[in-house]
Structure 1
Amino acid sequence: MFDIMGEDLRNMRLSVGKTTKEMAKKAGVSRVTYENWETGVGEPRMNQFLDIGHACSLSLAPLFKQISTLRDQFNQRDENETPQKVRKRASKKFKT
């Protein structure tokens, strides 16, 4: 879905010294389900991932800054400019 790998979840969890049971509770799933995610079997939904990120003290500020920048770009577009041109320009700005 959003390219988070099991190893990423494991690293996030270990960085804050939490158990798989604790993380499963934060995500609202069973320990077995959470452990499956860490081994690459399935993956969390976006809301579950955000809960996990919050539990691991990850900052969402960079994501919200990008969203705000995109909002500003779309709000400032010329009335004659097509949405496709705006999307193309915005996608170029955030390519890594």
Structure 2
Amino acid sequence: MQKLRENAGLTQRKLAERLGVTVQTVSNWETGYREPRMNPSQTLKLCQSLNCSLAQLAGAIAPCQDN
């Protein structure tokens, strides 16, 4: 997901602002510490922000790490 965000020219802060989440949440998604949990409209907003398809997003999300 980090690569998609960087390709879209967004910082973690800017993406977090667009989605209404914290920077830490975006960081957790990118590292695989947490998986995104969103409703369909939030998922669409994320895809639009990253200029990607749902399939691209699904392939870019790091698997959640077992702690």
Q: Same fold (TM over 0.5)?
A: yes
Structure with the greater alpha carbon radius of gyration: 1
Measured against the shorter chain, the TM-score band is 0.5 to 0.7
Q: TM-score, normalised by structure 1?
A: 0.47
Name stretches of at least 5 consecutive residues in structure 2 with no aligned partner.
Answer: 56-67
Q: Confirm whether residue 35 of structure 1 aligns to residue 43 of structure 2.
A: no
- C-alpha RMSD of matched pairs (Å): 2.0
1:9-41 CA distance string (max 9 Å, x none): 111101111100011112211001111110101
1:43-85 CA distance string (max 9 Å, x none): 222433321110122246x9xxxxxxxxxxxxxxxxxxxxxxx
Q: TM-score, normalised by structure 2?
A: 0.63
Percentage of pairs with the same residue: 40
Name stretches of at least 5 consecutive residues in structure 1 with no aligned partner.
Answer: 1-8, 63-96
CA distance in 1, matches of 2:29, 2:53: 21
Pair 37,59 (structure 1): closer, same or farther in 2 beyond 3 Å: closer
The aligned counterpart of 1:56 is 50
Query: Which contiguous aligned blocks of 4+ residues in structure 1 show a shift greater than 4 angstroms?
Result: none
